[in-house]
Structure 1
Amino acid sequence: MKKTFIIFLSSGLLVAGLFTSCKKEIGSLNGPSADDLIKNPTRFELNNLVVGTESGMRNNLDFYLDATGMIGREMYRFAGSEPRYTGDLLGKDNAQPNNNTFYLTNSWNSRYRVVKNCNLLIQGAANSTSITAEQKKGYAGFAKTIKAYELLLNLNLTYTNGVRIEVADPNNPGPFLGYDESLTAIANLLDEGKTDLTGSEILFTLSDGFALAKNGSAVTAAGLLRFNRALAARVAVYRKQWGPALTALNESFFGLNDDLTDGFYHVYSTGPNDQTNLAFFPQNNTGEVRLAHPSYVADITPGDDRIGKATLRTEAASFDELTSNRDVWVYTSNLAPMPIIRQEELILIYAEAKAQLEQLPDAITAINRIRGEHNLTPYAGAVSKEALITENLRQRRFSLYFEGHRWVDMRRYGRLNELPKDRPTDDVFDKMPRPQTEGQ
């Protein structure tokens, strides 16, 4: 594996760094400005911006997982110097998520920095005279796909408070759109990305995380298109568009009998100016810990191998009237890859769409694919749409644990009231506020 010299925008400044990739591609070391990247960039400058965009996607994801995991009652984040995890995020004593606090703003700002990179890439590729029309489409298709994904993560946080979609002009950003409008805009971006990727030529390389998908490796236009359609399937179920979800799945890397880990990932390294996976904490850590919510263990079926995502500690940890004796053990080293989207989720999307369309035998087949993979007997519950949706949500809970889905899933099915409250004054919130810097 070689290293790629990259540039990426961080708080409006061009920063140099290293990121794991498969090909050496060194552009201008003099630090090209944003204007250079828009007016007529070279292929080297565009390629550096692509890799910088992928690198930036990883920034502050630990805060995103902590926020969604805490509110979704998947886990506890204990930090002796930071009581807002167990206070604000759990609603202790009428506390609420704050609009100017790290657990919101760190992740939110990182996502929009990547969106800014994507906008530069779209504009730069369109104006570049050193690449062909097909190559322009490749850059634009990648950028629109990543932009849509980053906007979706922020929308997952703010829900009906919405997101800004049009931010290409920082001095005149577009308005906040409501939840449904935002989802529609994100879906449209993915569709535009699909159109661009179709018939495109890919000049750039991506990290090994985009080469892990056995049926959809994104080193080609076809692979990036499969990645795009997998994300489109996720957005379609959020929009309750079950037929389009299945269509998108059929165009993605979905395979009912394929390896559940097949997919696209963020990857990490200890190389200079790279980063490690900050969602990893060692087992039996003290002080700074991530612990499985007790309900994860209480609710899991005996024999389910997904109990391995919540390993037993040698000693329970307690803080702020909360206690758990299980560590979160999803990312088992500081170099463990973090999924963007993988086969197990696609199979569960398929099951959900089939159940909603009342194609119940197909839904059961998919659910049993997941159950069997985790040492469970075939589904033997009621055969109805409602029962299978409940079963699918259960499988999503354990299969996609600490990947940022539980809170979103319970919210989109109106089941937040089923999440446990550990203390008498706790609350379960349905959204985060808009960050203070965005105005109201």
Structure 2
Amino acid sequence: MKQHSILLFSAMLLGLGACQKGEIPNLNTPVASEIITNGTKEQIDNLAVAMESGMRPTLNTYFDAIGIQGREIYRFSGSEPRYTTELMGTSPLDNNTFYTTNPWASRYRVVRQANILMDAVNASSRLSANEKKGYLGYAKTVMAYQLLIALNMQYTNGIRTEVKDPNNLGPIKGYPESLADIAAMLDEGKADLTGSEIVFPVSVVTDVTPAKLLQFNRALAARVAIYRQQWAVALTALNESFFDLNGDFNKGYVHIFSANSGDLLNPVFLPQNNAGEQRLAHPSYATQIAPGDDRIGKATLRAAPASLDGLSSNRDVWIHRSNTAPVYIIRNEELILIYAEAKINLNQLPDAIVALNRIRTGHNLSVYPGAASQAALITEMLHQRRYSLFAEGHRWIDMRRYGRLNQLPLDRPGDKVWDKFPIPLPESNQ
């Protein structure tokens, strides 16, 4: 897999000037404006590398914040008490602190970089039409993914989907409208990637081709479709993705990290049995897992339990097993579960059971023994998503989508499960 080495120019783009509205870097800088109007192929490639690399900062904050809400994890930190107070619901969420402002700023910074890249590509006389389509299709796919992450946190508070002009931002739109815009952006990316040429570095997948980036785009489109309850649309997108009912669960697209100079280490990694910063499995993960389920290996026993603020766990989250381990964006196991969900909601229950049994038997379990009803299979599907996608950023969103947040455990008197995060203060002031 390719290394995310960031050239000096790309590093400059990551820190362009003072932040404007919504923490989006200013387009109107000499460096950016010169490249937009007269960029070389190397400079445009650097823009693409910077855009892709920018997806990785604050992933730990995002996964921790929504993992705590989904009661998948505890996050213990001697220097940050808000993991076990505000994020667990003992006091209101803060609209001007690290868990709100940092993920928002990071995601919109990438969106801004994607817009700069698209402007530079559209203005370039050095690229063929099909080469331009490759850059544009990938930029729109990345932009849609970043907006989806922001929307996952904001939910009904909504997000801005139109931010091309930092001095004239579009309105904050509601949840359905934002999802529709994200789906449309992915469709535009699909159209661009069709018949394109990829002549720039890409690290989310090995041996990159236009077809592979198109499959990435369609996999994300399937995820968005189930959020919109568009079940037939989800199945169509799956058929155009890398979905393989009998394939490797872990085939997919990833963020890459390394210890090389100028690169990032995996920010989500914490060692087992760590005495300081700790990311722990919620106790219910182990107590509610079926006997023999090999997914217990995602929550390994500690040498000694860890406790803080009335919370305790004896298991570490063990998803990322080194500081250079990749972080999955989307993988085939999720696509199989999307297929099952769509089939259930279309009342095509035998197909859904086949998919659920693929997950079950793939994790050392017997075939599904329960009722072949829509309600029972939804519960089974959510259960399998819980264990297959543990700590990958889905449980809270899944329970919210099905109106089941009240089924998540409350560990102490006064704890709450929030359904959304507040819009960051700098953004709400606009």
TM category, shorter = over 0.9
Using the TM superposition, give the Cα deviation of residue 40 of structure 1 relative to its aligned residue in structure 2, in angstroms: 2.5
Q: Are residues 1:430 and 2:419 paired?
A: yes
What is the CA–CA distance in structure 2 between the aligned matches of 1:100 and 1:132, rounded to whole Å?
45
The correspondence for 1:283, drawn from 265, 272, 276, is 272
- Matched with 1:383 is 372
Does the CA-based 8 Å contact 2:305-2:315 persist in structure 1? yes
User: Match for 2:73 among 72, 75, 79?
Assistant: 75
2:94 to 94, 98, 121: 98
**Where does structure 1 lack aligned partners over 5 or more consecutive residues?**
15-30, 212-216
Aligned to 1:270: 259
**Shift, 1:11, TM fit:** 4.0
Q: Is the 8 A contact 1:312 1:326 kept in 2?
A: yes
* Letter in structure 2 aligned against 1:413: Y
Instruction: Report the Cα offset of residue 2 of structure 1.
Output: 6.7
Give the deviation of 1:36 after TM superposition.
2.0
3-state DSSP of counterpart to 2:304: strand
After TM superposition, give the deviation of residue 5 of structure 1 in Å.
4.5
The superposition leaves residues 33-77 of structure 1 with CA deviations (integer Å, 9 ceiling, x where unpaired) of 110232131211111111111111111100000000001100000
Cα deviation digits, residues 96-121 of structure 1 (max 9, x gap) = 21111101211111111110110011
The residue type paired with residue 264 of structure 2 is Q
Task: Choose from 184, 189, 193 the match for 1:197.
Answer: 193
Residue 12 of structure 1 pairs with residue 16 of structure 2: yes
Q: Of residues 108, 115, 121 in structure 2, which corresponds to 1:119?
A: 115
- Alpha-carbon spacing, 1:373–1:2, altered in 2? closer, same or farther (3 Å): closer
Aligned length: 415
Q: Distance in 2 between matches of 1:200 and 1:316?
A: 53
Matched, 1:439 2:428: yes
Answer whether contact 1:64 1:103 (CA < 8 A) is retained: yes
Inter-partner Cα distance in structure 1 for 2:116 and 2:382: 38
Match of 2:22?
none
Percent identity over the alignment is 60
Distance 2:308 2:258 in 1: 32
Match of 1:137 in 2: 133
> What are the superposed Cα offsets for residues 338-384 of structure 1, whole Å, 9 maximum, x if unpaired?
10000000000000000000100100000000001100000010101
Distance in 1 (CA, whole Å) between partners of 2:149 and 2:15 is 19
Mapping of residues 208-227 of structure 1, within 5 Å? 209-211=204-206, 219-227=208-216
Question: C-alpha distance in 2, partners of 1:77/1:107?
Answer: 17
Matches within 5 A, 1:332-351: 332-351=321-340
**Deviation (angstroms), 1:221:** 1.1
Which letter does structure 2 place at the counterpart of 1:142?
Answer: Y
Which structure has more relative contact order (CA 8 Å, sep 6+)? It is: 2
Deviation track 1:87-138 (CA, whole Å, cap 9, x = no partner) reads: 011111xx12111110121111111111011001111111111101111111
Contact 1:56 1:114 in 2 (8 A): yes
Corresponding position of 2:230: 241
Matched with 1:214 is none
The one-character-per-residue Cα deviations of 1:366-403 (angstroms, maximum 9, x if unpaired) are: 00000011000000101011111110100000000111
In the alignment, the residues of structure 1 paired with residue 275 and residue 103 of structure 2 have an alpha-carbon distance, to the nearest angstrom, of 25
For residues 263 and 282 of structure 1, the distance between their equivalents in structure 2, rounded to whole angstroms, comes to 24
For the residue of structure 1 that corresponds to 2:260, the secondary structure is coil
User: Which letter maps to 1:171?
Assistant: N
Check conservation: 1:140, 1:193, Cα contact below 8 A.
yes
1:193-225 deviations in Å (ceiling 9; x for gaps): 001111111111212x411xxxxx5x1111110
Establish whether residue 34 from structure 1 lines up as the match of residue 38 from structure 2.
no
How far, CA to CA, are the matches of 2:279 and 2:311 in structure 1? 12
Tell me how large the CA RMSD over aligned residues is.
1.4
3-state SS of paired residue (2:337): helix
Q: Counterpart in 1 of 2:25?
A: none
CA, structure 1 residues 360+120, in 2 after alignment: closer, same or farther (shift >3 Å)?
same
**Counterpart for residue 63 of structure 1:** 61
Cα shift at 1:12: 2.3
Query: Is the Cα–Cα contact under 8 Å of residues 221 and 237 in structure 2 kept in the other structure?
Result: yes
Of 163, 169, 172, the match for 1:173: 169
Structure 2: gaps spanning 5 or more residues: 19-28
Which residue pairs with 1:44 in the alignment? 42
Q: Indicate if the aligned counterparts of 2:14 and 2:50 stay in contact, CA closer than 8 A.
A: no
Greater CA deviation, 315-324 or 35-44? 35-44
User: Aligned AA for 2:277?
Assistant: E
**In 1, Cα distance between equivalents of 2:284 and 2:376:** 21
Amino acid at match of 1:313: R
- Please show how residues 363-378 of structure 1 align to structure 2 within 5 Å: 363-378=352-367
Q: What amino acid does structure 1 have at the position aligned with 2:36? A: I
Give, as a single letter, the amino acid of the residue that structure 2 aligns with 1:127.
A
Who is 1:412 aligned against?
401
* CA distance in structure 2 between the aligned counterparts of 1:97 and 1:174, rounded to whole angstroms: 26
Secondary structure (helix, strand or coil) at the match of 1:339 reads strand
1:322 counterpart (292, 311, 324): 311
Counterpart CA distance in 2 for 1:132 and 1:195 is 16
Distance 1:393 1:124 in 2: 43
